[in-house]
């Protein structure tokens, strides 16, 4: 079966918020990503609202035709907003205010109580819950024991092992790739659905997407970065046409 793709559109909102402008609108971006075949749309509603806004969440809930996945910290304030919006899935992530992006996986062992409570609340309301964790067997064991049905393995270390691309002979890369393979199989054998994401690019994606147990990847920055380049020629042509209409 093909590995599914959840497109993270946070950085469409990052461009908009850089000017506090109206465009580009994540709602339009989600529609275009779905037209390209995305299996789902992912957003991270951060506590500081630095990119995605509440307005985006509620409009996307109305317009996304595939599946809406919201990454969130398991705080009381966030839980109440998300319960109101009712996305298809929530992915619980750790959040630190000054971080540039999510820095690591959730520590399910340390924060067992808060995470268990959030899982119970969301699952009780028919919202799927995924836990974003590092590829680590102890985190998998704890995720299973607190009733998670799905995990997203953090591929940041894998991606950072060979930041400029893909070197299948780099020892650091091989170690991280093999760890992802081993932990995916371990998680699936314990009954978990297995997803992955963070730092994946056109160059490094295949060794992860081809892991047999891998159901879906969540990819954002590299897709939006590429879109900004492959769309630039047309955007310039359209501006010239607007300046000089025939
Ligand atoms: N998965 C999670 C849990 C994330 O926090 C992020 C970044 O928002 C991603 C996937 C996507 O990472 P990237 O933008 O590097 O593709």
Q: Please list the pLDDT of the chain residue by residue as tens digits (246 residues).
A: 899 999 999 999 999 999 999 999 999 999 999 999 999 999 999 999 999 999 999 999 999 999 999 999 999 999 999 999 999 999 999 987 777 777 799 999 999 999 999 999 999 999 999 999 999 999 999 999 999 999 999 999 999 998 777 777 888 899 999 999 999 999 999 999 999 999 999 999 999 999 999 999 999 999 999 999 999 999 999 999 999 998
Pocket of ligand 1 (CB under 6 A): 8, 10, 44, 71, 91, 93, 101-102, 132, 152, 197-200, 218-222
Ligand 1 atom closest to 221 (CA): 14
| Residue ID of nearest Cα to ligand 1 atom 3 | 132
| Residue ID of nearest Cα to ligand 1 atom 6 | 198
Instruction: Please give the backbone phi and psi of residue 130, each rounded to the nearest 5 degrees, phi first.
Output: -120, 145
Mutate to test the pocket of ligand 1, among 38, 45, 71 (most ligand atoms within 8 A of CB): 71
- CA-to-CA distance for 71 and 23, rounded, in angstroms? 22
Q: What pLDDT is stored for residue 136 in this prediction?
A: 97
Strand-pairing partners, residue 217, are 5, 196
- CA-to-CA distance for 240 and 227, rounded, in angstroms? 20
- CA-to-CA distance for 179 and 133, rounded, in angstroms? 13
C-alpha 126 – ligand 1 centre gap (Å) = 24
For residue 163, the surrounding DSSP H or E stretch is none
C-alpha 71 – ligand 1 centre gap (Å) = 9
């Amino acid at each position: 079966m093909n590995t599914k793709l959840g497109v993270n559109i946070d950085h469409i909102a990052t461009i908009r918020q850089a000017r506090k402008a109206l465009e580009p609108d994540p709602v339009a971006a989600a529609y275009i990503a779905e037209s390209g075949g995305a299996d789902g749309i992912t957003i991270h509603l951060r506590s500081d609202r630095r990119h995605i806004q509440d307005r985006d969440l509620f409009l996307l809930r109305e317009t996304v035709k595939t599946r809406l996945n919201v990454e969130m910290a398991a705080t009381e304030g966030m839980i109440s907003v998300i319960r109101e919006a009712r996305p298809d899935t929530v992915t619980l992530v750790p959040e630190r205010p000054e971080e540039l992006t999510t820095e690591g996986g959730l520590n399910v062992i340390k924060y067992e109580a808060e995470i268990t409570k959030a899982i119970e609340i969301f699952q009780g309301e028919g919202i799927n819950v995924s836990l974003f964790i590092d590829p680590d067997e102890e985190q998998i064991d704890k995720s299973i024991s607190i009733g998670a049905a799905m995990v997203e393995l953090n591929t940041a270390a894998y991606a950072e092992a060979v930041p400029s691309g893909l070197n299948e002979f780099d020892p650091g890369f091989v170690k991280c790739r093999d760890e992802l393979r081993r932990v995916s199989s371990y998680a699936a054998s314990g009954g978990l659905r297995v997803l992955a994401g963070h730092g994946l690019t056109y160059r490094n994606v295949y060794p992860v997407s081809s892991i047999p147990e891998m159901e879906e990847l969540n990819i954002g920055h590299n897709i939006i970065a590429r879109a900004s380049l492959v769309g630039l020629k047309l955007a310039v042509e359209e501006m010239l046409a607007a300046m000089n209409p025939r």
